[in-house]
Amino acid sequence: MDASDCRDWAREHYGGMELGDIRRTARVVEMAYAAARRPGGRVLDVFQSSASRQGAYDLLENSAVKSEAMVDGVGLATASNSQGHGYVLVSVDGSSLNIVDHSRNKDFGIVGNVSQSGRGLKVITALAIQPDGTPLGVLDQQWWKRGAVDKSNNKWRKRPTAQKETRYFNQALEQSARRLQERAPGTRAWFLLDRESDRRATLDLVRELTQHWFTIRSNHDRRVLTKSDLAGPLNHRRLVRDTRVRKFISESLRLAKVQGHIRLEVPERPNRRARTAVLSIRVAEPHVWLYSQKGPSSAAKMTLVEAREIRTTPQGEEPINWRLWTNYPVKSFEDAKLVIENYALRWRIEDFHKTWKTGACNVEACQLRSAQTVVKWAILMASVAARIERLKHRSRTEQDAPASVELSPAEIQALIFFKRKYKKQTETITDDMPTLSQAVTWLAEIGGYMGPKVTGGPPGSITIRRGLEHIRCGALIFESLALENPQKKR
């Protein structure tokens, strides 16, 4: 990746941070530049000199440098890059950082299965994505340490939202909307949320954010209100106890007419084979009852789009069956199709999580001891992971672009040199400028990529990173030779 491009990216994402001292901001910019050039999970993987490593440790351990300010700086930069789009997709998802803590003396909380004593931190990430599926960057992150929760009774269910983890999802939505309003007021957010967000508090919030759209995958077969229910004040006691005339959204969808069929490319995932799925589309607009154990229940009219897989499910797998709440105006089959296709792009955040946590950035391998230092380091690497995913996507969608849009002249020389060394007997490597797609494939092959017939897909972030690491020393040599002999051509 071109050095000047990496430095410009670091300045753009971190140069505007308010950290209380311009020297701290300059240090973060240098750290981001180094991480973009040499991503890695540990500080010593990223910084090669002892002075740069010590400077990184000093900043991460400095209590005056707030993680909230770092998140805000990154989010505002991403919002600025969203300008010019009518809307951007914002995939919001929760995850955990599992940090090694065998002695249990580090400043972490519980993650994963409590019985297995997993240690680490919880995080909600809002990832901005262009309508064509290209990642833009991180709009927000919410961090917390999870303590032990007693679920032996139902008292925890009656806590207010401000005391539940739901508040972190809501805060991510609010902060993302605020940053877009501040830096890209002409751009809507289209929030994409999975089933864990099908909660009363989140549904209430997204209905209040009327200037933005949302799509939430349904997790509950909610009660549908009939005309008689809506004729007068809602009788909550009768709605809870009356089991004879209940109607649910599943019944509303069964009665809805199939509006058409679409084909959707389904990527390979654990326990799921890649395929082209055929989905039937139904749309309903029921009045649903949003029940609350604490506070008044209410009625809300929302659009429900169902995508159900037919005839293309491999044996032994469950068919795709998405029921999606949305406030996007669905007036036609094309509108319903857009809701489905945009929700399918929510999976970009899963690729981001893999690159960030265990892939090219490998942030879970960090050996920092306090929660605050881990959070600041992870925020830095999160923006790097989003950038890697963006470059990977570009290499697959802009295949004819020259490699020079992302690689420096020295890196291209080193890449050609090493490709010639490791090429197949049937290959001929010329001095011509490779395309971006070709260059990324060569990098991945140098990094261990065996080709689509073996791996089942295009190059991933890990093999691309290995290839970059392999050619780095050669690129430095070619760069030094160019400086010594500026008139000499390759």
**Spatial separation of the C-alpha atoms in residues 458 and 420, rounded to whole Å:** 21
Ramachandran region of residue 205, left (φ > 0), alpha (ψ -120 to 50) or beta? alpha
* Average model confidence (pLDDT) across the chain: 86
pLDDT, tens digit, for every residue of 419-448?
A: 888 888 788 888 889 998 888 888 888 888
Q: Are 410 and 486 in contact (CB under 8 A)?
A: no
Q: Are 128 and 139 in contact (CB under 8 A)?
A: yes
- pLDDT for 489: 46
- pLDDT for 243: 47
**Spatial separation of the C-alpha atoms in residues 17 and 284, rounded to whole Å:** 46
Encoded amino acid at 101, one letter: D
Nearest to 482, CA basis, from 412, 404, 418, 409: 409
Query: Tokens 């950035």 correspond to what residue?
Result: 361
pLDDT band at 237 (very low <50, low <70, confident <90, very high): low
Nearest to 367, CA basis, from 42, 104, 34, 32: 42
- pLDDT for 234: 65
- Count Cα atoms within 13 angstroms, Cβ side, for 421: 11
- pLDDT for 241: 54
pTM for the structure as a whole: 0.84
Query: Which has more confidence, 109 or 465?
Result: 109
Q: Are 188 and 87 in contact (CB under 8 A)?
A: yes
- pLDDT for 70: 95
Ramachandran region of residue 122, left (φ > 0), alpha (ψ -120 to 50) or beta? beta
Does pLDDT of 474 surpass 80? Answer: yes
Does pLDDT of 469 surpass 80? Answer: no
| Angle separating helix axes 436-446 and 409-422, nearest 10 degrees | 50
**What count of residues does the chain have?**
490
Query: Which has more confidence, 4 or 481?
Result: 481
- Residue 223: C-alpha distances to residues 243, 303, 321 (Å): 11, 14, 19
pLDDT, tens digit, for every residue of 356-391?
A: 999 889 999 988 889 999 999 999 999 999 988 988
| Chain centroid, CA 281 distance in Å | 26
Query: Which has more confidence, 472 or 125?
Result: 125
| Chain centroid, CA 173 distance in Å | 14
Does pLDDT of 252 surpass 90? Answer: no
- pLDDT for 321: 93
Does pLDDT of 153 surpass 60? Answer: no
* CA–CA–CA angle 458, 438, 130 (5° rounding): 60
Query: Which has more confidence, 153 or 347?
Result: 347
Residues 32-57 have a mean pLDDT of 88
- pLDDT for 490: 43
Residues 467-477 have a mean pLDDT of 80
Does pLDDT of 350 surpass 50? Answer: yes
pLDDT, tens digit, for every residue of 257-292?
A: 999 999 999 988 778 888 999 999 999 988 887 766
Q: Which domains does the chain have, with CATH numbers?
A: 3-66+358-397 (1.10.246.40), 86-356 (3.90.350.10), 403-484 (no CATH)
